[in-house]
Amino acid sequence: MTTAVANPKGASFTRPSLLRRLVDTNGFWRVAINFGVLLVFIGLGILAPVLPLQNPVKPSPMNTLQPPSAENWFGTDRDGMDIFSRTIHAIRTDFTLAISSVLIGIALGVPLGAISGYYGGLLDNILTRITEVFQGFPQILFGMAFIAAAGNTLTNVVLIVAFYNIPVYSKMVRSVVVPLRDVEFVQAARVAGNSSLRIVFRHIIPNALVPVFAQLPLSCAYAVQMIAGLSFIGLGVEIPKPEWGSMIQVGANYIVFGKWWLSVFPGLALFCSVWVLNNISDILKSLWTRRV
Amino acid sequence: MVLVDIQNLRVQFHIGRDVVYALRGISMQIERGTRTAIVGESGSGKTVTATSMLRLLPPTARITEGRILFQGTDLLALDENELRRIRGSKICMVFQNAAAALNPLYPVGQQIADVYHHHNGGSKREAWQRAVEVLAATGIPHPEVRARNYPFEYSGGMAQRAMIAMALVCSPQLLIADEPTSGLDVTIQVQVLDLIQDVVERLNATLVLISHDISLVSAICNRVIVMYAGTVMEAGTAGQVLEHPANPYTIRLLECFAGTDGEEMPYIPGRVPDLREQWQGCCFAGRCPRAQDICWRESPALRQVEPGHYSSCHFS
């Protein structure tokens, strides 16, 4: 208590910033490259409409299947649309769909997992079994069935991917909440007369959010893959809307004729974004596996 | 007047296939305004008794029999909503590990203000002011700065003070302190106990102090209940129990604390019975120097040996 007197400001120890801690545990270059690439992707996506790009959806019948040139950096596709411009614009499509589906998954999965972990018993058992059944079901098959039943719209694609994110988050949060349930500050909150729901939302969920944030980029990577995968088989995003999966699909028909640029460039963009998001998720995990 | 009346309370824990009989029909009365200590070894059931009063037992526990009357209402019969009104406003608890009893994500002052706001309403600002006041009252230096600190910035002793401040802000009628001083430095232990006594006197509240350390207990408590293997062995005023104990277990226990005089450290031979078993006789029979045949056949009832002094032994 004497330290407090000597130092009336209280805290003498300042917590290092988030970025500082990430760099300390992962090394500068790993953090810089991965976050840098992600920022470039996001920046290009946001700025795409104002950048001096060609119209991504304007066909030019006289100029189809051209190899990369000074005019068309990544070449042109079957309909003569500029692949460079389409690849950039596709960031908007893929990332928006991916992020919204992941956020829906979190918004539903986190409370679900917290409630099932906190209350336990029969409710927990039922919820866990349902999520397991759901996770065991093949995703593309479910996607096809859902779209066949509910219509081929972007909203439905988002919902499909969101459904697959709910169990991921509910299980993760549940696993963090179960040990938290008997921690003393939760007991103390109970002693203070808080209701169970208040304890869950105010005391338990905030303490379970770190792994959720670490999982978020990974889920986004997964969602980007799944959206591209669905549109590759013709579900969801329709040509001419720029989207990596459908672009790869169009190019796949021409790759045997040596027209490699149709698929390779959107494929590289897809690969890069997924890879970087995976790395970022790993980097963020160091925050909670190695507590400073 | 009796504030808490525990009647024949039995609690079991179901752990796997085993059943642990943690409380074997205990009865005790806690008078309003007293400072009662519950002492006993580990596993004697003192913490289970306290957590039963707040119905905070883990899901593996079953209360199979008994009643806990608090101001005449049976706590075991209340539903969750009625219970919530009692917790925090009429009964409060100070935990063993105070640093773990504070949520690491919120400033300490905010947590105290939350409790105040929850029970008294009013504005957030008023609640915050009240939190700073009680922190000051518990002897935290620079309370307005400290209130904004997070629990990890508090030392063990300060965290315990903050917990007591939280109890103070509720102004409960019954304060349960579960080993509030374990894990603290000896010098801080005395300060924290003094603070608890001070707070209890200020609130005109009743204190139940759970401890295994008889010397600390004798400093602030005026009644002592001795527990062993899920039963109450002896109960009475601090003077009665500590000065001239009636129960052989208490006698042996006090001998262990009395000091060694340079000789071999005194101890009670034998070991604590396995709580998974049920037995007929006295739970202390196996270790008691005075044990006779009857001790193995019949379990002794809690009998009055002098006014206000009870002991469960066939020979006291």
Report if residue A43 sits inside a domain: no
CA distance A216 to chain B (A): 21
What's residue A13's pLDDT? 59
Which residues lie closer than 8 Å to A279 by C-beta, 6 or more apart? Answer: A30, A34
What residues make up the domain containing A242? Answer: 89-289
**Residue A84, token pair as written in the block:** 């460079």
Highest averaged pLDDT of the listed ranges A58-62, A186-190, A238-242, B206-210: B206-210
Q: So what's the pLDDT on residue A14?
A: 67
Q: Is residue A52 part of a domain?
A: no
Residue A284 forms part of a structural domain: yes
Looking at residue A290, what is its pLDDT? 53
Q: Is the CB of residue B109 less than 8 Å from the CB of residue B148?
A: yes
Of B103, B118, B153, the CB nearest to A11: B153
Quote the Cα angle for B126-B127-B132, to 5°. Answer: 95
- Of all residues in chain B, the one with the smallest CA distance to A210 is B105
- Measured between CB atoms, does A8 come within 8 Å of chain B? yes
- For residue A3, name the pLDDT band (cuts at 50, 70, 90): very low
Q: Is CATH 3.40.50.300 the classification given to domain B2-96+173-182+202-311?
A: yes
Q: Give yes or no for residue A99 having a pLDDT over 90.
A: yes
Chain A residues within an 8 Å CB radius of B89: 193
pLDDT at A236: 81
Q: How many CB pairs under 8 A join A and B?
A: 82
In this prediction, residue A42 carries a pLDDT of 95
Residues B104, A195: C-beta atoms closer than 8 Å: no
Opening angle at CA A27, ends A26 and A30, nearest 5: 80
- pLDDT attached to residue A6: 43
Determine, for residues B102 and A188 on separate chains, whether the beta-carbon distance falls below 8 Å: yes
The rounded percent of chain B whose pLDDT value lies above 70 is: 98
B56, B119, B158 member nearest A187 (Cβ)? B56
| Rounded average pLDDT over A270-284 | 93
CATH number at residue A143: 1.10.3720.10
CA of A186: which chain B residue's CA is closest?
Answer: B101
Separation CA A51–CA A72 (nearest Å): 15
Give residue ranges of B with CB < 8 Å to any A CB: 54, 56, 58-59, 80, 84-89, 91-93, 95-97, 100-105, 114-115, 118-119, 141-142, 145-146, 148-149, 153, 155, 157-158, 163, 166, 170
What is the distance between the terminal CA atoms of chain A, rounded to a whole angstrom? 24
Instruction: Give the count of domains, chain A.
Output: 1
Tokens, residue A178: 């179960």
Name the pLDDT band for A100 (thresholds 50, 70, 90): very high
The most confident of the ranges B134-148, B253-267, B286-300 is B134-148
Confidence of residue B16 (pLDDT cuts 50, 70, 90): confident
**Look-up of token digits 């792994």:** A211
Cβ <8 Å between A1 and B89: no
Which of A4, A187, A191 minimises the CB distance to B88? Answer: A191
- How far, in Å, CA of A206 to CA of A199, rounded? 10
A9 occurs within a structural domain = no
Is A161 part of a structural domain of the chain? Answer: yes
pLDDT at residue B167 greater than cutoff 90: no
Given pLDDT bands bounded at 50, 70 and 90, which one contains residue B119?
Answer: confident
**What's the pLDDT at A12?**
53
Residue A61 forms contact with B (CB below 8 Å): no
Q: Tell me what pLDDT residue A238 has.
A: 84
SS (H, E, C) chain B: CEEEEEEEEEEEEEECCEEEEEEEEEEEEEECCCEEEEEECCCCCHHHHHHHHCCCCCCCEEEEEEEEEECCEEHHHCCHHHHHHHECCCEEEECCCHHHHCCCCCCHHHHHHHHHHHHHCCCHHHHHHHHHHHHHHCCCCCHHHHCCCCHHHCCHHHHHHHHHHHHHHHCCCEEEEECCCCCCCHHHHHHHHHHHHHHHHHHCCEEEEEECCHHHHHHHCCEEEEEECCEEEEEEEHHHHHHCCCCHHHHHHHHHHCCCCCCCCCCCCCCCCCCCCCCCCCCCHHHCCCCCHHHHHCCCCCEEEECCEEECCCCC
Phi, psi of B94 (to 5 degrees): -110, 130
Name the closest residue on chain B to residue A188, using Cα atoms.
Answer: B101
Q: What was the pLDDT predicted at B261?
A: 65
pLDDT tens, residue by residue, A77-93: 888 899 999 999 999 99
Q: What's this model's pTM, rounded to 2 decimal places?
A: 0.77
Cβ atoms within 10 Å, residue B270: 11
| Contact map slice: A 130-149 vs B, CB within 8 A | none
Q: Are B4 and B29 in contact (CB under 8 A)?
A: yes
The answer to whether A10 contacts B87, with C-beta atoms less than 8 Å apart, is no
pLDDT value, residue A274: 95
Look-up of token digits 């029999």: B65
What local confidence, expressed as pLDDT, does residue A7 receive?
A: 47
Judge whether residue A5 has pLDDT over 50.
Answer: no
Q: Which residues of A touch B132 (CB under 8 A)?
A: none
What average pLDDT does range A28-46 have in this prediction? 94
Q: Is A29 within a domain?
A: no
Contact list, A196 vs chain B (CB under 8 Å): 80
Cβ within 8 Å, pair A10-B145: yes
Q: Tell me, yes or no, if A185 comes closer than 8 A to chain B by beta carbon.
A: yes
Q: How confident is the model at residue B63 (pLDDT cuts 50, 70, 90)?
A: very high
pLDDT of residue B26: 92
pLDDT of residue A292: 41
**Does position B38 have pLDDT exceeding 90, yes or no?**
yes
Residues A193-219: what's their mean pLDDT?
89
Instruction: Work out the average pLDDT over B163-184.
Output: 88
Q: Do B105 and A5 lie within an 8 Å CB cutoff?
A: no
The percent of residues above 90 in pLDDT, for chain A, comes to: 48
Task: Write out pLDDT tens, residues A141-184.
Answer: 888 899 999 988 889 999 999 998 999 999 999 998 988 888 88
Is residue A176 within 8 angstroms of chain B, CB to CB? Answer: no
Burial of B43 (0-12, 13-18, 19+ CB in 10 A): middle
- What gap in Å lies between CA B188 and CA A1, rounded to an integer? 10
With CB atoms and an 8 Å threshold, state whether B119 touches A193: yes
User: What integer pLDDT is reported at residue B11 of this predicted model?
Assistant: 94
Using a CB–CB cutoff of 8 Å, tell me whether A194 touches chain B: yes
What average pLDDT does the structure give for chain B?
89
A291 has a pLDDT exceeding 70: no
Mean pLDDT of A40-45: 95
Q: Tell which residue, A244, A241, A262, has the closest CA to residue A253.
A: A262
Alpha-carbon span B123 to A14, nearest angstrom: 31
